[in-house]
Chain A
C-alpha cells in the first residue's frame, strides 16, 4: 500500500508556543489557588496562607507574559492585538453563525483569516480582563487595610468577575481546540492543511507555498 502523505501548515513559532505554555501552568495555578478562597468548603485549603503564597508567586510569570511575548515576537504580538480589535462584515456574519459553529458546523461560515471572529473576541476579552484582573489584584495585595469596605468589595468583585470571564474563555478555548483538532498547532507548531482549509481559508490562501510542508502519514 502506498504511504499516504499529509500536508501541514505552520501555525505558531516555537517562541509563541513557549509563551503559551508558560501561561498555561501560571494561569491554572492562579485559578486553583484563587478559587479556594471563594468556595467555602475549600477554606481549609486556603488556611495558613500557603495558597496565597503560591498565588503571589504564580502571578509574576503571568503578569510578565505579555512583555515576554512582545520581546520574543514583537511583530506577532502587535499583529494579534490589532487583529483582535478589528472586526469586518465577515466577522459579524461569523458571529451570527456561531451557534452552529459551536456545535461543530463550519459549512456556510464566511471565510476567515488567520484568526476567526471568535478568536478575535476571545483575544480582545482576554486582553481586557488580563488588565482588570491584574489591576484589581494589585489593589487587593498592596492596598490591604487602606481600602475600606467599599474599596475592598469593589476590587474583589472586579477580580472575581475577571476570573469568571477568563475561566469561561479558557473553557471555550479548550472546547474549540478539542472539537476542531487544533491542539497540534500549539503542541508542534503545525496544523493540517485540511484544518486550515475548513477554518481559516483566507489565511491559507495568503500563505506562501513554502510555509506548507508535506509529511508522510506513517
Chain B
C-alpha cells in the first residue's frame, strides 16, 4: 500500500515567527506577492487575561478533496495523501477556488496557486521546507499514522492547560493531510467543525456530468438505429406518392381509350 503522508501543526508550539512562510516562498520560488502559507494572530480578551493563538491558512490536503474532484484538467491530483499541483495543466478556470471549503486555492498569474507539498523534495525522501525550517518544531511531516499518533500524544499533554484542545483533520473529508493541534474549538480559528464534500458538487460531478454524456451517447445510438427503419419507411412513402398520381393518370388514359373505342 502506498504511503500516506501528512503534516501536523502544533499551535501550542507555534510562535508565529513566519519562518515557514519565508522558507516556503524561498524554497518553492513563490512570487513575492503570492504565498502558499499565511499566518494570522488570533487574540481574545484583554491583557493580562487574554488568550492568543496563531491560525495557519494553507492547504489541508483533504483526502476527499473537492478541488481535485472539480478540476477539469487534472492540474490538481492526489499523491500519497497529498494534494499536488501540475501547474502547466492549469487553465485558470477557478473551479477549485470556489469548491474548496477552506478557500485555499487561488488564481495567481493565470495559474492555480496553493501548497505544492514540496513534491520534489518529498519524492527524494526529504521534508517540506516549512517543516525543516520551523524553529519551534511546531510543523512536522511524515507518515500520517505516525504524525497522527504524535499529535494524540501532544493532546494528552496539553489537555490540562487547554480543555478544548483537539486534533483537527483526523476524520474530516476522509481525513486531512494537514493535522492541526487546535487549542480551542475549530470555530475559534474560523474553521468549519465538520467540512463535507458539498452535496451539490457531488451531484454535479457524479450524476449530472456522467448522465449528460450517457444521454448524449444514448441519443446518438437511438437515432442511429432508428435511421435505418425511418429511412426505409420514408422512401416507401415517397415511392407510393410517386406511384399514386401515375396510377390515376393511367386510369384516365384507359377510360379515355374506352370512350374513343366506344
Which residues of chain A come closer than 8 Å to B27, judged between CB atoms? none
- Are A47 and B88 interface neighbours, CB within 8 A? yes
Chain A residues near B198: list those with CB within 8 A.
Answer: 149-150, 153
Partner of A145, one of B74, B97, B201, B227: B97
In the assembly, what is the distance between CA of A144 and CA of B211, in Å? 25
Contacting chain A: which of B130-138, B218-226, B248-256? B218-226
Instruction: Determine if A157 and B208 form an interchain contact, defined as CB atoms under 8 angstroms apart.
Output: yes
B-chain residues with CB within 8 Å of residue A161 when the two chains form the complex: 208, 212
- Selected from A146, A175, A181, the residue in CB contact (under 8 A) with B223 is A175
B11 within 8 A of A: no
Inter-chain CA distance A214–B101, complex, in Å, is 69
Q: Is B89 part of the contact surface with A, judged by Cβ < 8 Å? A: yes
Q: Are B220 and A148 neighbours in the complex by a CB distance under 8 Å?
A: no
Q: At the interface, yes or no: B47 with Cβ under 8 Å from chain A?
A: no
The answer on a CB contact under 8 Å between A157 and B91 is no
> Which residue in chain B gives the minimum CB-CB distance to A167?
B216
B258 at the interface (CB under 8 A from A): no
Question: Is the beta-carbon distance between B66 and A149 smaller than 8 angstroms?
Answer: yes
Is B241 a contact partner of A194 (Cβ separation < 8 A)? yes
Q: Does B259 lie at the interface of the complex (its beta carbon under 8 Å from any beta carbon of A)?
A: no
A163 CA to B211 CA in the complex, in Å?
Answer: 12
Q: B52 on the interface (CB 8 Å rule)?
A: no
CA distance A42 to B99 in the complex (A): 21
Contact residues in B for A46 (Cβ distance below 8 Å): 72-73, 91
Q: Which of B48-97 contact A (CB under 8 A)?
A: 66, 70, 72-75, 88-95, 97
A1 within 8 A of partner (CB)? no
B26 to chain A, nearest CB (A): 27
Is B121's CB within 8 Å of the partner chain A? no
Interfacial chain B residues near A180, Cβ < 8 Å = 234
Residue of B nearest to A169 (CB): B219
Contacts of A36 in B (CB 8 A): 72
Check A175/B227 contact, CB under 8 A, given A43-B74, A147-B98. Answer: yes
Does A179 lie within 8 Å of B208, measured CB to CB?
no
A200 → chain B, closest Cβ, in Å? 15
Q: In the complex, A123→B42 CA distance in Å?
A: 58
Give 3 closest A-B pairs by Cβ, nearest first: A144-B94, A104-B233, A49-B91
Residues of chain B touching chain A, judged by Cβ–Cβ distance below 8 Å, are 66, 70, 72-75, 88-95, 97-101, 106-107, 110, 198, 200-201, 203-204, 208-209, 211-213, 215-216, 219-220, 223, 226-227, 229-234, 237-238, 241
Taking A52-B91, A180-B234 as known contacts, 19 extra A-B pairs with beta carbons closer than 8 A to each other, sorted by chain A number, are A44-B74, A102-B226, A103-B226, A103-B230, A104-B229, A106-B237, A144-B95, A144-B98, A145-B97, A148-B98, A149-B100, A152-B99, A157-B208, A171-B216, A171-B219, A172-B223, A178-B231, A179-B231, A198-B241
Between A and B, 25 residue pairs with Cβ closer than 8 Å are A36-B72, A38-B212, A38-B213, A44-B74, A46-B72, A49-B110, A52-B91, A52-B92, A102-B230, A104-B232, A106-B234, A144-B94, A149-B98, A149-B198, A153-B200, A156-B204, A157-B200, A161-B208, A168-B216, A175-B230, A179-B227, A179-B230, A180-B234, A181-B234, A198-B241
